[in-house]
Chain A
């Protein structure tokens, strides 16, 4: 069965760089039409899409966070990594990775990880 699991630090200091890893199973990161997104949710607030990467290495980033984000994948390890630089307390959130199924005009997140809460505090 398809699973995704996020891992990374639970606490980071302001100005530090956050590195999160999403380890997937039940599908390959080389599958056509499939990719992985990172999505975050501050406590009590809405979902916010951050970035995605597809099997052909196509990447896209949130316009507002583009300068701080880098997404990459290691297909052999079934992992997708997101780095976010210059962390701030407003970046405190639960970070999810989710599988994307995409085609022309459509794209949806059919499987989600359990999420990992990252707190930014000195």
Chain B
């Protein structure tokens, strides 16, 4: 059981927009920045978004992040078949071992 809650799956057609939610609590998302990771099949996770809404160099602006209270959202516009992957949210948790926590992951299918 993951500390952060994500929908198991989302889907949309190529060119469309999709959002993925991530819900936590005051001890994690509520008081810390959120990051998002993309995991293509058979590969290691890759940082997509950090500090709620910042993109590392090389990540297209089709990917965006936001946070409100104890929830965060990843948005992807102009969907491409290459975006099919698992997406994870992550943050720090102050109530446990002061370590990292992740969501259960969301499988994005581009129909």
In the complex, chain A residues whose CB is within 8 Å of the CB of B46 = 112
Q: Are A109 and B35 in contact (CB under 8 A)?
A: yes
In the complex, chain A residues whose CB is within 8 Å of the CB of B111 = none
A113 within 8 A of B: yes
B71 within 8 A of A: no
Q: How many residues of A contact B (CB 8 A)?
A: 28
Interface residues on B, range: 20 to 34
Given contacts A106-B33, A110-B50, A112-B46, contact A63 B97 (CB under 8 A): yes
Q: Are A60 and B99 in contact (CB under 8 A)?
A: yes
Contact of A106 among B2, B51, B88 (CB under 8 A): B51
In the complex, chain A residues whose CB is within 8 Å of the CB of B37 = 47, 109
Q: Which of A51, A101, A107 has the most CB of B within 10 A?
A: A107
Quick one: CB contact mask for A21-50 with B, threshold 8 Å, 1 for yes? 000000000000000010100000011110
Q: Are B102 and A105 in contact (CB under 8 A)?
A: no
Q: Are A105 and B44 in contact (CB under 8 A)?
A: no
Q: Are B102 and A49 in contact (CB under 8 A)?
A: yes
CB-CB contacts below 8 Å: B66-92 with A: 88, 90-92
Q: Are B50 and A49 in contact (CB under 8 A)?
A: no
In the complex, chain B residues whose CB is within 8 Å of the CB of A112 = 44-46
Q: Are A105 and B33 in contact (CB under 8 A)?
A: yes
Q: Which chain B residue shows the least CB distance to A52?
A: B99
Question: What's the Cα separation between A105 and B93 when bound, in Å?
Answer: 10
Q: Are A62 and B97 in contact (CB under 8 A)?
A: yes
In the complex, chain A residues whose CB is within 8 Å of the CB of B99 = 37, 49, 51-52, 60-62
Interface residues of B (CB under 8 A from A): 2, 31-33, 35, 37, 44-47, 50-51, 56, 88, 90-92, 96-105
